[in-house]
Amino acid sequence: MSPEPIRIAQISDLHIKPPGSLAYGRVDTGKALERCVAALNEFKPAPDFVVISGDLADTPTTEEYQYLKRLLAPLNLPFAGIPGNHDSRELMRTAFPDASYAAASGPLDQKIEVGGLDLLLLDSSVHRKPHGALEAPTLGWLDAALAASSDRPALLFLHHPPFKAGIWHMDRQNLFNASELDPIIRRHPRVQLIATGHIHRAALTMFAGVPTTICPAPNHAVDLDLAELRKPSFKVEPPAFHLHTWFPGEGFGTLVTHQVPIGTFDGPHPFFGLDGKLL
Ligand SMILES: [Fe+2]
């Protein structure tokens, strides 16, 4: 019998405000996370783990992290978070003191083993700046963590995309030192996916020869203004999360990413009638 698939849900850019406050005066990010947690709890088969890829809080404040923890309390699945540009390393360490951080101070990098899969969570936050960068300790830790095994598939998670997505005001705040990440990825072919956030909308490219994604958000999306027509804007589009499934198989295995919309939708309806014929 082949080993069971491993399912990693990714949610991103929660932007939790104090209770009763709306993000940008319009978006109830707390309610959006409540709906997201319900969708994760209801999903079958249950994901094995949930990664929150940054911007957990919005300002950030201690009150926001406390509210975030209350909103995440009903989640029936194990989870870990990495900081985004809206987060604070210190406040996150205080809010989640039991996380498996790679170092006692500095970047909040984590390695998490889920069955035969390694999740490497990289802290790309830069204090009080919107752009991202991987500090030397994080790059060194990543290289060593990947070198520790050659036969375990690894998924990398970080907040800032290491590529330009074509949205002008986000491209100037992506991962500034992607060129330093590139050779590390290429040295370790066990990396199967690089999964990011920050732009609140799904995107896919290749980086360092590896599929690289952006995860949509449970709340609002950065406007897909590829023509540079508007000032930085957002739209409230259908919320979603990503489900990365590792199928162990011949040789190494296969990773498949599904986008899962959050909400109640018409269906499922059968394709075939009682007579077995296509309806
Ligand atoms: Fe961000």
Ligand 1 mean position, distance from CA 213 (Å): 15
Question: What percentage of residues in the chain have a pLDDT greater than 70?
Answer: 99
Ligand 1 mean position, distance from CA 10 (Å): 15
Ligand 1 mean position, distance from CA 115 (Å): 30
Ligand 1 mean position, distance from CA 162 (Å): 13
Q: Rounded distance, CA 169 to CA 157, Å?
A: 22
Domain boundaries defined on the chain = 6-261
Ligand 1 mean position, distance from CA 198 (Å): 4
Ligand 1 mean position, distance from CA 140 (Å): 24
Over residues 184-205, the mean pLDDT reads 98
The residue type of 143 is: D
Mean of all residue pLDDT scores within the chain: 97
pLDDT band at 251 (very low <50, low <70, confident <90, very high): confident
Say whether pLDDT at 252 is over 90: no
* Whole-prediction pTM: 0.97
Ligand 1 mean position, distance from CA 129 (Å): 10
DSSP annotation string for 155-172: EEE-SS-SS--S-HHHHT
Ligand 1 mean position, distance from CA 4 (Å): 34
- The number of residues in the chain equals 279
pLDDT digit string, tens, across residues 89-134? 999 999 999 999 999 999 999 999 999 999 999 999 999 999 999 9
Ligand 1 mean position, distance from CA 200 (Å): 8
Over residues 172-181, the mean pLDDT reads 98
Question: What percentage of residues in the chain have a pLDDT greater than 90?
Answer: 97
Torsion sign over Cα 96, 102, 107, 111 = negative
pLDDT digit string, tens, across residues 10-37? 999 999 999 999 999 999 999 999 999 9
The per-residue pLDDT for 3 is 84
Say whether pLDDT at 1 is over 90: no
Q: 6-261 has which CATH code?
A: 3.60.21.10
Ligand 1 mean position, distance from CA 201 (Å): 12
Over residues 181-200, the mean pLDDT reads 98
pLDDT digit string, tens, across residues 140-170? 999 999 999 999 999 999 999 999 999 999 9
